[in-house]
Amino acid sequence: MNSSFNKLLTFKTLITASMIIVFSLNLLLIERVNALSDSKQLVLDAWTLVNEGFYDPEKFEEIQWKRIRQKTLQKQIETTEEAYSAIEDMLRPLEDPYTRILRPKDYELLKSSNFGSEINGVGLQLGENDNKKVKVVSTLGGSPAEEAGIVSGDFIEKVDGISSQELGLANTASKLRGESGTKVLVEISSASGEIREVDLERRSVDLRPVRTKRLRDDSHTIGYLRITQFSESVPKKVEEALQELKEREVEGLILDLRNNSGGLVSSGIAVADSLLSEKPVVETKNRNGIKDAIISQKETSFDGPMVTLVNKGTASASEILAGSLQDNERSILMGEKTYGKGLIQSLKTLGEDSGIAITVASYLTPKGNNIQGQGMTPDKLLDLPDASEYGSTDDKWIKNAELFLESLLEKEEVSVQTIELNNEETKS
């Protein structure tokens, strides 16, 4: 009797102890979940967004992406800044400079450049080369960087004494931005290896993304349309500009995409839609494969002959536009080989005021050419110095484009006259 009672008591004790252990473990799990609701939750949210959207999931297997999450969450992360740093460390093995954390200031400035008309900084658009060196893609017209003689192809070596390779692309760009009137010391190296320091004063740079004018000689009237970047407002501004040029009876168009480092891909596609009639604009390749090409609408805003100017500062969304025009034989490309950024980023909000940019796809021209790292080769190469101001009277690139358009227009006139003459002969 006592033996049976003791066994029962022992069994009950074990059950109770087991329940206590399970309950305690549940409490620990609840506490762990609660701990992820602040700074660690920010890290987990960033990991999840990248895990769901990054264009190359095979990279995850290569770098053991899930283990990186586990190791990152085991770190002591108590502040938002520690969370940002942990996310940067977590993203580094992806080896994609465009997938990056955007701290509140950077996130706000990026949104301003995409949706607004002004930005505070020195006017540099940056990228990275194969050796992870921070490279100047282009300079904005009228910016402190342009006035200091910084050009596409230069490298940023240091910002305020800190190595750009130590900072990385995102933090280098961040340190160059700031309030108007403040200064930043930048060490620049040229492609030839010459090193110099420039002291730049940040200021509000008027992006003026669309600029236009009419060029006229004794026999022809040509429109000039310059797009400096692709922000949300650009497609509408381009429509208005093309309508204005049509009213001024232009016969041909020079589209200037020099030093246009991109912006919103959707805006670049919308501009292509204004110039192409029922033609493929671009194909995208995401983690699920190649999607069908985006086809332009039937109606166009301008259907006359065109020349498109590009250079080594022409990148991303502007390469999509240039590639669609070249592959569809809508416009010849004239100038230099383009930069070669063929990756598309999606911008996601992270937390209350920060964000994360994630590379979600690569893009291909209508003929299937991959631009990433390759760039685009113009139909006609120009070995000419850049003008001090694009579109000015001393811009030799514009003069070359004018002469080419005039030859096209004269051929069209001869063709029309020949058709009319043949019609007259048929009637007689």
**What is the structure's pLDDT at 72?**
95
Q: How many helices (H) and strands (E) are present in the chain, helices listed first?
A: 12, 20
Residue 256's SS3 state is strand
Q: Same domain for 273 and 150?
A: no
Report the distance separating Cα 369 and Cα 74, nearest Å.
43
What confidence category does residue 81 fall into, taking pLDDT thresholds of 50, 70 and 90? very high
Residue 103 is assigned to a structural domain of this protein: no
**93, 339 contact by CB (below 8 A):** no
Residue 23 is assigned to a structural domain of this protein: yes
What confidence category does residue 10 fall into, taking pLDDT thresholds of 50, 70 and 90? low
Lowest mean pLDDT among 35-49, 74-88, 241-255, 332-346: 35-49
Residue 89 is assigned to a structural domain of this protein: yes
Q: Same domain for 385 and 269?
A: yes
**What is the structure's pLDDT at 30?**
38
Query: What one-character DSSP code corresponds to residue 370?
Result: B
**152, 259 contact by CB (below 8 A):** yes
The more confidently predicted of residues 260 and 219 is 260
The more confidently predicted of residues 269 and 107 is 269
Which residue, among 164, 157, 129, has the nearest Cα to 339 in the 3D structure? 129
What confidence category does residue 216 fall into, taking pLDDT thresholds of 50, 70 and 90? confident
Residue 303 is assigned to a structural domain of this protein: yes
CA trace torsion 285, 369, 138, 378 (10° rounding): -160
> What's the CATH number where 282 sits?
3.90.226.10
**What is the structure's pLDDT at 291?**
83
What confidence category does residue 22 fall into, taking pLDDT thresholds of 50, 70 and 90? very low
Residue 383 is assigned to a structural domain of this protein: yes
Residue 15 has pLDDT above 80, yes or no: no
Report the distance separating Cα 382 and Cα 400, nearest Å.
9
Query: What one-character DSSP code corresponds to residue 150?
Result: -
What confidence category does residue 114 fall into, taking pLDDT thresholds of 50, 70 and 90? low
Catalytic residues: 316, 327, 341
User: How many CB atoms lie under 10 A from the CB of residue 415?
Assistant: 10
Vertex 241 angle, CA 336 and 232, to 5°: 80
Kindly state the tokens that stand for 174: 């961040």
Among 185, 206, 227, residue at a domain's last position:
206
**409, 249 contact by CB (below 8 A):** no
Q: Same domain for 250 and 356?
A: yes
Report the distance separating Cα 283 and Cα 265, nearest Å.
12
Q: Same domain for 245 and 278?
A: yes
Q: Same domain for 223 and 319?
A: yes
Q: Backbone phi, then psi, for 283, in 5-degree steps?
A: -110, 145
Q: Same domain for 75 and 157?
A: no
Q: Same domain for 379 and 261?
A: yes
Q: Which residues lie below 8 Å from residue 22, measured CB to CB, with a gap of 6+?
A: none
Q: Same domain for 198 and 327?
A: no
Residue 69 is assigned to a structural domain of this protein: yes
Residue 418 is assigned to a structural domain of this protein: no
**What is the structure's pLDDT at 262?**
86
**What is the structure's pLDDT at 235?**
95
**What is the structure's pLDDT at 14?**
46
Residue 101 is assigned to a structural domain of this protein: no
What confidence category does residue 17 fall into, taking pLDDT thresholds of 50, 70 and 90? very low
Q: Name the residue range of residue 9's domain.
A: 1-35
pTM: 0.75
Residue 11 has pLDDT above 50, yes or no: no
Q: Same domain for 164 and 246?
A: no
Query: What one-character DSSP code corresponds to residue 117?
Result: S
Lowest mean pLDDT among 20-24, 75-79, 84-88: 20-24
Residue 23 has pLDDT above 50, yes or no: no
Among 206, 231, 247, residue at a domain's last position:
206
Q: Same domain for 231 and 339?
A: yes
Length of the chain as a residue count: 428
Strands (E), 304-342: 306-310, 332-335
Q: Same domain for 188 and 243?
A: no
**184, 200 contact by CB (below 8 A):** yes
**139, 124 contact by CB (below 8 A):** yes
What confidence category does residue 167 fall into, taking pLDDT thresholds of 50, 70 and 90? confident
What confidence category does residue 263 fall into, taking pLDDT thresholds of 50, 70 and 90? confident
Q: Same domain for 242 and 196?
A: no
Among 168, 189, 206, residue at a domain's last position:
206
- Indicate the number of domains in the chain: 4
Long-range contacts (CB closer than 8 Å, 24 or more residues apart) made by 29-38: 36/73
CA trace torsion 395, 400, 403, 406 (10° rounding): -90
Lowest mean pLDDT among 158-162, 175-179, 402-406, 421-425: 421-425
